[in-house]
Amino acid sequence: MQLSVIVAIVIAIGGVMFAVQNMVPATVVFLFWRFDGSLGVIMLLALALGALIVALVSTPATLRSNWLIRRQRKEIDSLKVTNAELRAVTQTGFRSGAAQSGTSAGTSAGTSGRETETNG
């Protein structure tokens, strides 16, 4: 963003320098329209008109991409929340599963040991 502003300022300064140095009268004729003025002023008007056309043409694409980026950021945030919830559920499930399997393994091992002692 800052680079584009700097480039625009440099182009504007160049245009003003051109206008000041080219005060020769010139006539522009387009279809039924005729404009008499200095060459520098005509060139500055052409530069401004070109900048306006570029701004008008690029605005819809810029707005569309900003909307898409905003939507994708919301989706990423939603997915991060879902991911955190799933991690919490998974970790809780593993902990309780390990505790249950450790308890049942100890009980079955203890029972089989007692049965051996009783029978033996």
* 89, amino acid identity: V
Summarised one tens digit per residue, pLDDT across range 45-104 is 888 898 899 889 989 988 999 999 999 999 999 999 999 999 988 888 777 666 666 555
Cβ-contact 49, 34 below 8 angstroms: no
Domain boundaries, the chain: 2-104
**pTM of the complete model beyond 0.75:** no
Show the tokens assigned to 87.
């991690």
d(CA 22, CA 107): 100
Quick one: pLDDT at residue 67?
Answer: 95
| DSSP bridge partners of 101 | none
pLDDT digits (tens, 9 = 90+) for 9-32: 898 888 788 878 888 888 888 888
The SS3 of residue 30 is strand
C-alpha distances out from residue 36 to 22, 23, 32, 48, Å: 14, 12, 14, 17
**DSSP conformation class of 120:** -
